[in-house]
A = this chain, B = another copy of it.
Amino acid sequence: MIYELYYWPGIQGRGEFVRLALEESGAEYLDIALLPEEQGGGVPAMMKFLDGPELARPPFAPPFLKAGRRLIGQTANILLFLGPRLALAQRDPGGRLWTHQLQLTLADFVLEIHDTHHPIGGGFYYEEQKPEARRRSRDFLAHRLPKFLGYFERVIERNPDSDKWLAGKRLSYVDLSMAQVVAGLRYAFPAASRKALRGCPRLRTLHDEVFARPRIKRYAASGRRPAFNNDDIFRRYAELDA
């Protein structure tokens, strides 16, 4: 099976959570919007699924994944589907629900991280909402960031089956996503995240272990992983990191 991933070019965004799972498992996939239009790629190939009038099950937004005749949207839903297929999820149904629950909580966290620079909405540029972004960021860094990180640190600590992964004995897709969030936070808020991660040794180790895995390392060095940048979810604005 060659998977087809559809996501905006130029950013990691939510597509990156899916990419890390595909890369770690060595799955074959095409990153359609990154292919030349002459080869049936590019953004138009992606928009076809969003705007196309024929689709019975249209996704609301990227990322979405084509797996054979299936078209699956919503990041956490894609990972729920891929998990068992890529051997990145637990075998028992209870374990799968738990892993998915953690992924959904991470998705909430990611949205709050995004909203630090876009509290008034995606319809305005950051430059049009700077004072509001400062206020929201201060609240986020003081209360929400330690709350979320403390929660995930505790989840690893309490995992009866492993002392380094979030759920189950082995690495699962939610560990990859967690490592990506730690990396993103360090990019966006270097000072505040250093402080917040001080009390989270397990999350720091998880991050290092994930990015030291041979396939993830190779992917990060391949030039295919977009760099963090200020069109993305995680953005570095010095004035917000305080």
Could you tell me how many residues of chain A have their Cβ less than 8 Å away from some Cβ of chain B?
Answer: 44
> Interface stretch among A36-44, A98-106, A206-214?
A98-106
Q: How many identical subunits does the complex contain? A: 2
Q: Does A77 contact B (CB under 8 A)?
A: yes
- Would you call B158 and A56 a contact (CB within 8 A)? yes
- Would you call B81 and A104 a contact (CB within 8 A)? no
Prevailing SS type, chain A contact patch:
helix
- Would you call A136 and B111 a contact (CB within 8 A)? no
Look across to chain B and name the residue whose beta carbon is closest to the beta carbon of A59: B101
- Would you call A77 and B56 a contact (CB within 8 A)? no
> Interface stretch among A21-29, A120-128, A216-224?
A120-128
- Would you call B77 and A100 a contact (CB within 8 A)? yes
- Would you call A143 and B159 a contact (CB within 8 A)? no
- Would you call B121 and A144 a contact (CB within 8 A)? yes
Rounded to whole angstroms, the CA-CA distance of A140 and B118 in the bound complex is 13
Q: Does A151 contact B (CB under 8 A)?
A: yes
Rounded to whole angstroms, the CA-CA distance of A101 and B75 in the bound complex is 9
